[in-house]
Structure 1
Amino acid sequence: MAIFVTGGARSGKSHFAEQLAQKKYSSGIYIATSEALDEEMTARITKHQADRKHSGFPWETLEVPLKLGDCLRELRSLGDSKMQQRVVLVDCLTLWLSNCFFALDVELNGTDRLHEMTRELAEEIARYPYPLIIVSNEVGDGIVPMDALSRQYRDEAGRLNQLIAKQCEQVFLVTAGIPVDLKKLEFRWEEL
């Protein structure tokens, strides 16, 4: 069962995802997608690692900045009965997208490979049979970026969030620390 958790920056989405994992499962694998590219990000990563360590919940952390689909495929292939009670938490999808964006040099090389990678990831999420929570930023709710590359990233993040949310049984939007189950509130055309 895949669960998608989205929200703006500092909305409480990661905290909610971690709490959800801790309340429902006995242990977890934390897939961290961020890379420590500067001092500020290094400090953030260190704080997140310390918070997980002190939470009392047994997290195993995997650093996966690019090969997220491959990582899920490997975990799926374990076929371990323990995985039924072990949640995988991916934090976060938009950082993974950013890593892919720059590794592929999307501005120069276009989006074909990026779209292929996002489709492959969506397929792996759909195939993943064990508990999975995916955190992503909702970047389209803010101001329109000034430059073309930033607008392209915002658009790709929106497309990615839509694609992944379709694969998930539950989708939560977290705003001001308050989670809302969007699929419970989802409009259905047949209700017209």
Structure 2
Amino acid sequence: MDDLRVARSELILGGQKSGKTSRAEALAAAWLAQSAAHRAVYIATAQAWGEEMRARIERHRQDRARRVPAMETVEEPQDIVRAIAAHSRPGTLVVVDCLTLWLTARMMPPPGNVALPAPEEELMAHAVAAAAGPLVLVSNEIGLGVVPMGRETRAFVDALGRLNQQGARACERVTLMVAGLPVPVKGHP
């Protein structure tokens, strides 16, 4: 990875398996290497709604523990604004991975769960501004293809696009991951 200097806040965007999480983990590892007093907290938003997802989450846990063993993991699929506030400290880097799954859980919950009100983008901007330490947000860029056919899918793509725009405005740095390579979008030296 190119620039592993930790910004006050960074939004990492990209498609599936583009290297978003790898960049976030590399930033956390670089942060931890800077000082023995530094901490890193990973806020995981994924929920195991099926066997395949359970296996995927477990594989991610094991990989994360191997790549950044000193990073603490907190599972919070719903209230990430509260989780950011609870864990953000001047010497603690917080990684939220990912906004896409968080939004999915809010807008399209599994059967038996109730959809929550659409996220208030201002709350996310407030969470970024209020973070006491560095913050890394990970999100998918899914609006580059054709317009989806279904109403619910279009609503989700629109909502994620608005959330990503708000995150990009609020964050000091924005990086687009393409084929494992960071493409600077905003705030890179």
TM more than 0.5: yes
Q: Secondary structure at the match of 1:139?
A: coil
Aligned length: 172
How high is the sequence identity, in percent, across the aligned residues? 39
- Matched-pair contact (CA < 8 Å) for 2:94–2:134: yes
Q: Which runs of 5+ in 2 are unaligned?
A: 1-7, 33-37
Q: Report the counterpart of residue 9 of structure 2 in structure 1.
A: 2
TM-score (structure 1 length as normaliser): 0.83
| Equivalent of residue 45 in structure 2, options 18, 33, 41 | 33
Letter in 2 for 1:162: Q
Distance 2:184 2:68 in 1: 27
Q: Report the counterpart of residue 5 of structure 2 in structure 1.
A: none
Q: Which runs of 5+ in 1 are unaligned?
A: 77-82, 107-112, 186-192
Distance 1:105 1:32 in 2: 19
State the Cα RMSD in Å.
1.7
Q: Which moved more, 1:168-177 or 1:138-147?
A: 138-147
Cα drift, residue 86 of structure 1: 2.3
1:66 and 2:70 correspond: no
| Equivalent of residue 105 in structure 1, options 104, 112, 115 | 115
- Matched-pair contact (CA < 8 Å) for 2:87–2:94: no
**Which of the two has higher C-alpha Rg?**
1
1:182 and 2:185 correspond: yes
Cα drift, residue 73 of structure 1: 2.1
Cα drift, residue 171 of structure 1: 0.5
Would the alpha carbon gap of residues 184 and 44 (structure 1) be closer, same or farther in structure 2, given more than 3 Å must change?
same
- Matched-pair contact (CA < 8 Å) for 1:8–1:175: yes
Deviations 1:37-75 (A, max 9, x none): 011111110011001111253011111100011112222
Q: Which moved more, 1:58-67 or 1:95-104?
A: 95-104
Cα drift, residue 177 of structure 1: 0.5
Q: Report the counterpart of residue 159 of structure 2 in structure 1.
A: 156
Q: Report the counterpart of residue 190 of structure 1 in structure 2.
A: none
Q: Report the counterpart of residue 92 of structure 2 in structure 1.
A: 86
